[in-house]
Chains A and B, each alone.
Chain A
Amino acid sequence: MAAASTAAAGADTSFRFPREYSFPAFFTRQTNLTTHHAQLSKWSALVLAYARHHRIFRLGLSAAADSDLFYNRRLDRRLGMPDIRELLDFMKRDGRIEYASGGGGDGAGGGEGEVVFVYWRKPEEWARKIEKYVEETGQKGGVLTVYELGQGEGTRGTEIHGIDNEVLLKALNVLVRKGRAQIFGQDDSQGVKFF
């Protein structure tokens, strides 16, 4: 699983779940609209914090349902699949997740059913980070490969390092739309030029 592999890198300290995570009623869909909204907001915050902590970029739904994100083993309470979908829809409206178009990316998501990108940073925010990095390292006007940006030695130590390829491309496309960069080349060896 792609998420797990990327997670391994950052999981040096264990994630501290919020208070609600140990509250049994948190795992039941609330019927009161206000309460339900609060519940979704808190779940959303929890998912993002969890993803950020473990540096998860893509989340396989069925695998995540059994992970301790949605399944509190100590309480023996879990968030049901319909509720997870509802939560994801809620987050999607906020622009915090995006459904991966079936089997795209590095192909890891294909076998696990639905996969979503978790934007604990939105592509626009990533774009700003990349731009800043390019500026700081004086590579404006130069050409970088996409691989270099994501996995290369140059970005090691920055937040960009280890970014999911598709998320990276989305961020770069934001820059392209702004006219700050241009992407060229083939699928495997894409290059990007910053202006």
Chain B
Amino acid sequence: MFLKHIDLTTALRPFYLPDEVLLFVQDNVGLYEGKFKLPNYQNGQVYLTTHRICYVDKEDPRSYSVALELKEVDRYEFYAGFFKSSAKITLIPKPPKRSSVLPSSVSGASHQRNGSSLSRSDSPRSNPEQSPATSATWVCTICSFSNPVPSNFDPVTANAHTPLPPCLACGIKPTLAHVLKAAISGANNRAMNTPSFTSSYPSLDQSGVTPRPLSENLSLDLASSPQTPQNDGESTFQCPRCTFSNHPSLLSCEICGAPLISRKQSPPDAKSSLNDIRSESPGPVIENPKKTEQGSINVSESVKISFRKGGEKIFYERLKGSMTQRKWLLQDAPPAPTRSRLADEDPSTSSPGRSGKKAAGIAGLEQLGLNMRKNNELIIGSAFEDLEALMASAKDVVALAERLSRQNSSGADAMSAEENRLLAESASQLGLITTKDIVGGGGSSQSLYLSELSRNVAEFLTDDSRGVLKQAGGIITLVDLWAKFNRARGGVELVSPMDFEKAARMWEELKLPVRLRTFRSGVMVVQGLDRTDQATIKALLAWLKDLHEFPPEKEVPWDWQQFGMGVTAQETADRFGWSLGVAEEELLMAEEHGAVCREEGLEGLKFWVNYIDMGDVKPAKSQAQRDQEAIVKALKKSGMI
């Protein structure tokens, strides 16, 4: 098992894979390999997603951030903590080369026959993980040579049409029954030889880790994967006070009312609690972990995640959920099989389709449009046929929705098109948002929620494809950003203004590339880290300089070649793409720096290049300074100096 080094976003969060969904975040955790602590991985945040467990170090996130793929995890254990020992979750890797285990295969097969044999009967697909099942052999009836059973041979799906390779020695094809028998007996032998395997799954026979054919996983998961497993004896939490086994979703004990989320050592005030939460633990530290290439760690034993600030129970629950759902299988899955209806229609539509390709001109275009509409109709029609299909073709439907929205908005004016695009694309982002639900509930995790929100907003801002900051001329008021952000969330899990402001204030602390800035008037704006007042002034002055070159629109009484033009905040906002408030504040800032000066007239407040103070006027001297100079002068005169 590998702890792979991962790349982080600008907001120092892990980059998610496509389809990956964040489930839970907890801070103040440490990593262990076996019984030993991993140095440099002792204080960080752990991100549980549908695909991975990511650890991001707090001190040096860029160098010490690793991820563990859930698909490499065989099983996981929960340890509630004892006295000074923090609660831990142990992840035990799969053995390196595992061959298939027959009993589970068979149980899977029976399932499959009961359940979804219909959907599979015409799509023989073998499970990639079953490929190492080559140890079974069949003995040729002609020459008695021991041939290996082909790797892609699956006793469950094999039928009369399954191609069988001939004997390697004599070239005579075996009968299906013969090979089938050999495969099953081979697998039986294996199961008997390795009893430890089967016994190591005490309760995971159904939900677990055993490989099964892909499509069956899908159907099983969809059918039997409730978000919170309810009747599972394992998922109850034992109350630390009265030992009553509570339902996992309860936050306090049903009998004695004691808090179940173990934060005994953390008072409500998160700031002070941070100090007495230990990032040190008495456990031994491993000296030099086996580093492979760049920050990845090869772990032969189990990996432990130590929760020093609680959150382990929710993490455990969500981990269990995601191990059950096994979303990572979807990632490698081929697109959902096109419905049989399509196949039925195919012969009838194929001939006009082919002729349509040849057709030229308007007729050809119309034919193309017709085909496309038919295809769209098919996608929508099949998508809503049942829930399973909808899930399978979710990608197609989202893509279609986006395409439609783009088509719709192409007619409207540019602004609304832009907004529509934002809305449509926010759909894909929905899965990755931070919610109060994802980070653990309770008082002390408020700061964690805020820091996650802070990172989330920073990502939203710096995302190049969305270009929120760029569109606003590199600077945006906090209120505008808040509105945009909530809109991008698609109307769910909206962020309160208070939380938003608090999150924005954390950027500096979290070393994120955006900053909150408060103007003298109290207006709060958001801007990139690299944006300085000097750069802004430079841009303003360059623009004002341009006005010396181009004649003004109407006659002006002053010498515009010498003084240029005065500009209002409105003009500045138009020029730089800022909002009016921002433009005003920036101009005032430039005035404060002495770069521009003001002119109040009938046309309002205008700003000019500062021709008043060109540096030719000496600053006012204080009385003391003047006296001193007079003394020096007098002394010089009298020849003392």
Contact = CB atoms under 8 A, between A and B. Distances in A.
A141 B563 CA distance: 58
Contact of B613 (A22, A24, A28, A39): A39
Given A30-B598, A42-B617, A24 B591 contact: no
B378 interface: no
Interface string B555-580: 00111001100100000000000000
B610 interface: yes
Contacts, number: 73
Interface in B577-620: 591-592, 594, 597-601, 606, 608, 610-614, 617, 619-620
Contacts of B563: 22-24
Contacts of A24: 558, 563, 566, 599, 601, 606, 608
Contacts of A42: 612, 617
B559 A38 contact: no
A14 interface: no
Contacts of B606: 24-25
A53 B589 CA distance: 39
Looking at chain B's contact residues, the main secondary structure is loop
B591 A32 contact: yes
Interface in A47-89: 74-77
Contacts of A34: 594, 613, 619
Interface in A14-36: 19-20, 22-28, 30-32, 34-35
Interface residues of A, number: 23
A46 to B, nearest CB: 12
A35 B613 contact: yes
B557 A30 contact: no
B558 A28 contact: no
Contacts of A23: 558, 563, 608, 611-612
B597 A37 contact: no
Given A28-B600, A32-B592, A38 B608 contact: no
A139 interface: no
B533 to A, nearest CB: 14
Contacts of B562: 19
A35 B599 contact: no
Contacts of A25: 566, 597-599, 606, 608, 611-612
Nearest to A39: B612
A38 B617 contact: yes
A35 B588 CA distance: 13
A31 B591 contact: yes
Given A31-B591, A39-B612, A75 B558 contact: yes
B620 A37 contact: yes
A30 B612 contact: yes
A22 B612 CA distance: 11
A12 B602 CA distance: 36
**Most chain B beta-carbon neighbours within 10 Å: one of A23, A25, A26:** A25
A35 B558 CA distance: 21
A40 B611 CA distance: 13
Contacts of A28: 597-601
Contacts of A77: 601
A32 B590 CA distance: 10
A190 interface: no
Contacts of B620: 37
Contacts of B617: 37-38, 41-42
Interface string A105-128: 000000000000000000000000
A76 B557 contact: yes
Nearest to A94: B620
A74 B556 CA distance: 10
B471 to A, nearest CB: 31
Given A28-B600, A32-B594, A20 B558 contact: no
Contacts of B612: 20, 23, 25-26, 30, 35, 38-39, 42
Nearest to A26: B612
**Most chain B beta-carbon neighbours within 10 Å: one of A19, A32, A74, A75:** A32
Nearest to B588: A31
Given A24-B608, A28-B597, A75-B557, 18 more contacts: A19-B562, A22-B563, A23-B563, A23-B611, A24-B558, A24-B566, A24-B601, A24-B606, A25-B611, A25-B612, A27-B599, A28-B600, A30-B597, A30-B598, A30-B612, A34-B619, A39-B613, A77-B601
23 contacts: A22-B559, A22-B563, A23-B558, A24-B566, A24-B599, A25-B611, A26-B612, A28-B597, A28-B601, A30-B598, A32-B594, A32-B613, A34-B594, A34-B613, A34-B619, A35-B610, A35-B612, A37-B613, A37-B620, A38-B612, A39-B613, A41-B617, A75-B558
Interface of A: 19-20, 22-28, 30-32, 34-35, 37-39, 41-42, 74-77
Interface of B: 557-559, 562-563, 566, 591-592, 594, 597-601, 606, 608, 610-614, 617, 619-620
Report, nearest first, the 4 A-B pairs whose CB atoms are least far apart.
A38-B613, A25-B599, A38-B617, A25-B608
